[in-house]
Amino acid sequence: MDKHRPRVWTELVGNNSKILQLKNWLSQWSGQKTNFRRAMLMSGPPGVGKTSSAQLVCDALGFRYFEVNASDARNKSTAAVTDGMRNNALTIVKEMISNASLTFGGETRKMVLIMDEVDGMSSGDRGGVSELINIIKNSRIPIICICNDKYSPKLKGLISVCDECVYHRPLKTQIIKHITKIGQAEGLSLTGDVTAKLVESCCNDIRLCINQLQFASQTVFAPENAPNTVKDIPGNPFSNTDILFSTGSQLSVLDKERLSLSDAELIPLFVHENYVNMRPSGATSDMDRLSLSAASSSRLSEFDMICTAVYSRQYWSLLPVCTMLGAVLPASVVSGRRELISPSAGERNFHRFPSLLGKMSSSSKVRRLCSELSSRFSTGISTGVSSSQLRLNYFALMRLRTLKEMTFTSKGGKEQEGIESVLAFMHIYKLKREDWDTLHDSTRLEGKGPFFQPTALVLCSKTKAKFTRMCKTHNL
């Protein structure tokens, strides 16, 4: 890697406009201007040259840089982000932020502080992002902050005090040209197709491509087999789902399977959430689109059955089959461009996060609360039925019995006069005030009418307040 790393900023691949932006900002930096940002936030996926750009631009402009890995400064007991460093390094950092230049070996040079991996810092403690923001506001030297995800919630405050420089993956043609040049320098015979396949299998990650070339040159495998040796697939479920749905992808079935296995539990959920909003490239009409979506749905149904065997019965040898049915095949059937079937106002046209996970979380919470309510109910009176039978057969009646008499008179209720009757019922079944809330929150269904609405819309505020006071009086 070091052998072929760029020595000057002009040797960097891609993001030329971003490198010039950084170069201009650094050359014009001034700590005295009131409207000048003292820090630059560089963001982008790993392996695109953010850190290398910062270092090489500093060298080109005559700055001496000092690099700190910000994610190392995460101890809540520390008083400042710089306390993540120790001994001489700590002294240098503290000296740097209060001096415009320092002398090293008799040479006075302007200084730059590079804070790498700032999205790995803690957001809430005193030694985290808040302290870094204070350092930036008081610094007399430029500070370059580097992160992978600028949308991380913990960096929300940092963005407001920094200029932004967003890096992207270099173009595929740029990477192919660069990798071919490196292969020739190492005496590797790489054809255009082999290089293109290598770049695509590495998801346009230059560092990973070079690693694979190094691996191929030191083994008995031929260079053309190098793309098949990729072990770890970079990226995240969003980008990997984009690749699976893309019609321009030249990945083989095995490469797509490897891509899906990078997150075998989550990527099938992404495919399930988004496949209906894809317009297949092979669909010439809406009927074709519907037929292909149905075929994709069938594969997902088969995936669901295989999943039961894999995760419930521990038949892990079926995991590759599960991945093919849950991600590769259904995504390939509807591969094309994303086109929302029924777009809602303000919805952005990109792959959504699986809503199933949120529903499962809510379902687990409701199930737990209902189980607690069932236990309380059973201690009040012997029912001889299971918890699930209580939820299915009793809770709807209990909701009606503990609400109807307190509703508005115009809706058939007695308002405050019905509170005593409700309290008597709750006393029989040992129900508390919090049980009343649980019952009504967990059993309300969607529909029209007073008993499908939240209790706040069918109960008078005075009635509800008196009901709460009387529950306290009766120790409920």
Cα Rg of the chain (Å, integer): 31
pLDDT in tens, 156-206: 888 888 888 888 888 888 888 888 888 888 777 777 778 887 787 776 777
**Is the CATH number of domain 170-232 1.10.8?**
yes
Q: Are 439 and 373 in contact (CB under 8 A)?
A: yes
Q: Which of 48-52, 169-173, 361-365, 457-461 has the lowest mean pLDDT?
A: 361-365
Which range has the worst mean pLDDT, 93-97, 257-261, 354-358?
93-97
Q: In the structure, what pLDDT confidence band is assigned to residue 295 with cuts at 50, 70 and 90?
A: very high
Out of 3.90.660.10, 3.90.550.10, 3.30.1490.190, 1.20.272.10, select the CATH number for domain 235-353.
1.20.272.10
Say how many C-beta atoms besides its own lie within 10 A of residue 116's C-beta: 19
Distance CA 4, CA 184 (A): 12
13-52 burial by CB neighbour count: b if 16+ within 10 A, else e?
A: bbbeebbebbbebbeebeeeeeeebbbbbbbbbebbbbbe
The fold adopted by the segment(s) 9-166 is Rossmann fold (3.40.50)
**pLDDT above 90 coverage of the chain, percent:** 3
| CA angle at 153 for the pair 147 and 154, rounded to the nearest 5° | 65
Max avg pLDDT among 146-160, 347-361, 364-378, 440-454: 146-160
The per-residue pLDDT for range 413-429, each reduced to its tens digit, is: 788 888 888 888 888 77
What pLDDT does 449 receive?
62
Q: How far apart are CA 471 and CA 189, in angstroms?
A: 83
Residue 384 pLDDT exceeds 80: no
Q: Which residue has the higher pLDDT, 213 or 268?
A: 268
pLDDT digits (tens, 9 = 90+) for 41-78: 998 887 788 888 888 988 888 888 888 876 554 444 44
Among 45-54, 88-97, 248-257, 339-348, the range of highest mean pLDDT:
45-54
Q: How many CB atoms lie within 10 A of CB 447?
A: 8
What is the C-alpha separation between 316 and 275, in angstroms, rounded?
26
CB 147, CB 115: distance < 8 Å: no
- % of the chain surpassing 70 pLDDT: 76
* Mean model confidence pLDDT for the chain: 76
